[in-house]
Structure 1
Amino acid sequence: MKHTDFNKDFATLLPAEVPTHSNTYVPALDLYLVDGTKQQAIDALLAPGRRRAFFMNAHCCNIRRQDPQYARAVADADMLLPDGIGVELAARMTGLRLTENLNGTDLVPDLMAEAARRGKSVYLFGGRPGVADAAAAALIRKTPHLRIAGTRDGYDGASDTEAVIADINESGADIVLVALGVPLQEMWLHQNAHRLNARVTLAVGALLDFLAGVVVRAPKILRKIKMEWTWRLAQEPRRLAKRYIAGNPTFLAHAGAKAARRIPVSNMVRRGLDVGIAATALVLLMPVFALTALAIKADSRGPVFYRQRRVGQAGKSFSMLKFRSMGADAEAQLASIAGASDREGVCFKSCNDPRVTRVGRFIRRFSIDELPQILNVLRGEMAIVGPRPALPREVALYPERALGRLAVKPGITGVWQVSGRAKIGFDQMVEMDLSYAASRTLLLDLALICMTFRAVVSSDGAY
């Protein structure tokens, strides 16, 4: 497999760089998947060199377990793109949260638009007679400057492999989309991609049918809640019943069993504890959430919640939620007050920060501003107990030793949080977090959770 497992190598990063995407190993699937935004995946596909990319969904994973030839084709691919809610759930079984669902129906049209901007051409191979031509016409309507190098159907047009290869090479195509269905398309590329002159080859399944209008996509609301498979099942129940009704539970059962074998029991218990505490707290604290939201809106203009990019376990960034405690233009004012920090080191903290609102001072004093991070815990991005989640600009300035803080998930509370918070200097905070990462136990986590209540009531170091 031609991938880099960033999760294992994060400590070797240069302090001046925090990565925004990676190829991540998903233990529940025993696969490396592209973990990044759609634009990052497109840039990677069009980077110099040759790329053979497949989309991996629950159906693909089921076939991979049963078909050794298809499994070999998958193992030899350059990029595997996560497609669908099943793969996302399998990743979450081991505490991973993939950045984005990179399904071909959404990604390829944007890839074509970028290809057109770069002057690259595309060849469409697959589908019933006439489908590739209709799909090409649809792409040109959406992206008028896209160059279609050629088309060929996946029936009689695919019967002579030598003729297909010759036609693609003579067309001068830079990108080839192969839509022969899983697993035939992947195995065709596994056997023949090295004979194609095109730099980028993708197995795209039913994409040409969608583009041509032969198959209608699900309404946006179903796509948004990641239930598009139910629409497909309703369209073709006889053909797709086995794939979805039997296949989806089978996929999740196998992924769950594999995840359970790979996760230490203590980690499973810790995650269960996190989810249990976070879910219970979310229900019990709903009145506090409502009152805080009303107070923030009454006190100052701006949104109730504040989202900020933070760096989590293994250097993976995520959007952390807090109640807004500062004015809406707080980030813009930071440069003007950077010299007023009360704390030594890379983390800015000021007792008299002029950006903090009246309500903000109150909710900071009692750590109410941190409560929305319960949602980050439920999403698997944070834990109840762990190091303070760092800002990307802080991690960019970390000495090498401080990168060890990223070995575990950041937490709502932790050693630093119950030991004085803002009174603790950066170097001392790092040592506390490294010690916790090296020796954490469930008993220690429970003790820190209990100590958090005392820290909140005393408000020691909270500002």
Structure 2
Amino acid sequence: MKHADFSTLDTHHVLPAGTRRTLTTTPLFGLDLVDATAEVTIRALLSPGRRRVHFVNAHCINVAARDAAYARALRTGDVLLPDGIGIELAARMAGRSLTENLNGTDLTPRLLAAAARAGLSVFLFGGRPGTAEAAADRLCRDIPGLVVAGCRDGYAGAADPRAAIAEINASGADILIVAMGVPRQDTWLADHADLLKPRLTLGVGALLDFLAGNVARAPRPLRRARLEWAWRLAMEPRRMARRYVAGNAVFLLRAARHATMQPQAQALAKRALDLGLAALALVPLAPVFLLTALAVTLDSRGPVLFRQIRVGRDGQTFEMLKFRSMHVDAEARRGALEAQSDRSGLCFKSRSDPRVTRVGRILRRYSLDELPQILNVLRGDMAIVGPRPALPAEVSAYPDRARARLRVRPGITGLWQVSGRADIGFDKMIDMDLSYAARPSVLMDLVLIGLTVRAVLGGRGAY
């Protein structure tokens, strides 16, 4: 074994400048995991700059959910590397993919080989007494030119953090490898980050035990099949049962919940809810459609349905359908009435609008004029819940911030509709729409649909 002479951050997922240029990341469980090949990752880790590296696997996510200090260590780490089939599955469930499995057992020896070529030294810290030294011997046999600057066990050798840090710093090591298991190794690195001199620090779990021969790794075919966890369970059933049997089940449930919270999953679920409710509503509402159409026809001349171009998601226009509640010359008369608007802002509304028919006032009072928009929902132009569909002229006059409401499909009902409709001013309506557009969800839709019934019966702002 060759030896050299022995003479915390508060930002969120911020990679050092040199790392940022070469490593892309993918968000998962609120963490930014590296999405790159092993070669690119190693080159970035060994580039100039200080970095604290953590490997993240399914067990890590489970532990972080109940250990605040460990979760903080991961959140403030400089580089988080995806480790194992569990993380890969969770990424797929969330509609993402990871370039490579960057587990510590395989990546770290490759990293040290590159470090040896670059003339960088390493300090091994962890394991039972003698384990770090045995691992160092193995590494030096496998990696010509590797300089191990020092070794220290993770038991008595870790009892005094100050003494451990002093020895690590005095060794002059460029890289510190800590193998104390999760979460101890990661919280130790995070707690002492400001005192440690090595420019690259990593928590590597059982790596030193594997290198020292204390624990046998799974045969290569099992590793290629991503079943190393099953091998470890078979080798140490009593110690690993909780982690791999119960833990894997908990992790998959956690991954499924995380996936359902992703924007893509929420969008699919929301669209499914829209289609289901719209289709179910057509049959029981058919008599209402027929009676309403008859009433409109008998009350005033003109078509039963009113068709108007509105602006939908991403600024796309569509033809919105309503039961006609105004006389046929309503649009021509609008300009002369806009000064009489009872509502502040861009959207014209008048309590005594003379263009509204007798039947139209009843339709508007109980929102029956909106029923044909169910067809807009089935066509995909609208949603059951969403911002009010705006007129092109209104959108052209929008302030910049109001355009964010166009990120989602407009709806038959929404926050504005259940909060007072026309009694709500334009600026307040925009605030409500932006709030909804930022966090659309099926649960929110169900709540608003329930509140819509109360709003319709109450009739506030319906004119």
The equivalent of 2:47 in structure 1 is 47
The equivalent of 1:312 in structure 2 is none
The equivalent of 1:61 in structure 2 is 61
Q: CA deviation at 1:196?
A: 1.0
The equivalent of 2:367 in structure 1 is none
Distance 1:263 1:159, change over 3 A: same
The equivalent of 1:71 in structure 2 is 71
Runs of 4+ that moved beyond 3 A: 1-5, 263-272
Correspondence list, 1:116-155, <5 A: 116-155=116-155
Correspondence list, 1:53-452, <5 A: 53-265=53-265, 268=268
Conserved 8 A contact 1:21-1:37: no
Gaps of 5+ in 1: 6-18, 273-463
Could you tell me how far apart the structure 2 residues matched to 1:59 and 1:130 are? 27
- Which secondary structure does the structure 2 equivalent of 1:49 belong to? coil
Conserved 8 A contact 2:127-2:208: yes
The equivalent of 1:305 in structure 2 is none
CA RMSD of aligned residues (A): 2.0
Gaps of 5+ in 2: 1-10, 16-20, 273-463
Equivalent pairs, count: 257
The equivalent of 1:22 in structure 2 is 24
Distance 1:170 1:23, change over 3 A: same
The higher-RCO structure (CA 8 Å, 6+ apart) is 1
Letter in 2 for 1:23: T
Could you tell me how far apart the structure 1 residues matched to 2:160 and 2:261 are? 45
Could you tell me how far apart the structure 2 residues matched to 1:271 and 1:83 are? 34
Could you tell me how far apart the structure 2 residues matched to 1:265 and 1:158 are? 45
Conserved 8 A contact 2:70-2:183: yes
Could you tell me how far apart the structure 2 residues matched to 1:266 and 1:132 are? 48
Q: CA deviation at 1:225?
A: 1.1
Could you tell me how far apart the structure 2 residues matched to 1:269 and 1:197 are? 50
Could you tell me how far apart the structure 1 residues matched to 2:205 and 2:14 are? 26
- Which secondary structure does the structure 2 equivalent of 1:176 belong to? strand
- Which secondary structure does the structure 1 equivalent of 2:69 belong to? helix
- Which secondary structure does the structure 2 equivalent of 1:33 belong to? strand
Write out per-residue CA displacement over residues 36-74 of structure 1, whole angstroms, 9 at most, x where no aligned residue.
001111111111110000000000000000011111111
Q: CA deviation at 1:263?
A: 3.2
Write out per-residue CA displacement over residues 331-387 of structure 1, whole angstroms, 9 at most, x where no aligned residue.
xxxxxxxxxxxxxxxxxxxxxxxxxxxxxxxxxxxxxxxxxxxxxxxxxxxxxxxxx
Name the TM-score, length of structure 2 as normaliser: 0.54
Q: CA deviation at 1:3?
A: 3.7
Letter in 2 for 1:25: P
Distance 1:197 1:235, change over 3 A: same
Distance 1:211 1:265, change over 3 A: closer
Letter in 2 for 1:125: F
Q: CA deviation at 1:193?
A: 2.0
Q: CA deviation at 1:262?
A: 2.0
Could you tell me how far apart the structure 2 residues matched to 1:271 and 1:94 are? 18
Could you tell me how far apart the structure 1 residues matched to 2:163 and 2:218 are? 36
Q: CA deviation at 1:25?
A: 1.1
Could you tell me how far apart the structure 2 residues matched to 1:38 and 1:87 are? 16
Conserved 8 A contact 1:134-1:212: yes
Could you tell me how far apart the structure 2 residues matched to 1:82 and 1:169 are? 29
Write out per-residue CA displacement over residues 393-445 of structure 1, whole angstroms, 9 at most, x where no aligned residue.
xxxxxxxxxxxxxxxxxxxxxxxxxxxxxxxxxxxxxxxxxxxxxxxxxxxxx
Q: CA deviation at 1:267?
A: 5.2
Percent of residue pairs bearing the same amino acid type: 57
Could you tell me how far apart the structure 2 residues matched to 1:271 and 1:45 are? 43
Could you tell me how far apart the structure 2 residues matched to 1:35 and 1:49 are? 20
Letter in 2 for 1:118: A
Conserved 8 A contact 2:95-2:264: no
Q: CA deviation at 1:264?
A: 3.9
Could you tell me how far apart the structure 1 residues matched to 2:155 and 2:167 are? 15
Could you tell me how far apart the structure 2 residues matched to 1:66 and 1:20 are? 33
Could you tell me how far apart the structure 2 residues matched to 1:115 and 1:234 are? 34
Name the TM-score, length of structure 1 as normaliser: 0.54
- Which secondary structure does the structure 2 equivalent of 1:216 belong to? coil
Q: Which has the larger radius of gyration?
A: 2
Q: CA deviation at 1:4?
A: 6.4
Could you tell me how far apart the structure 1 residues matched to 2:53 and 2:271 are? 33
- Which secondary structure does the structure 2 equivalent of 1:193 belong to? coil
Letter in 1 for 2:27: Y
Write out per-residue CA displacement over residues 231-273 of structure 1, whole angstroms, 9 at most, x where no aligned residue.
000010000000000000101101111210223457547999x
Conserved 8 A contact 2:132-2:153: yes
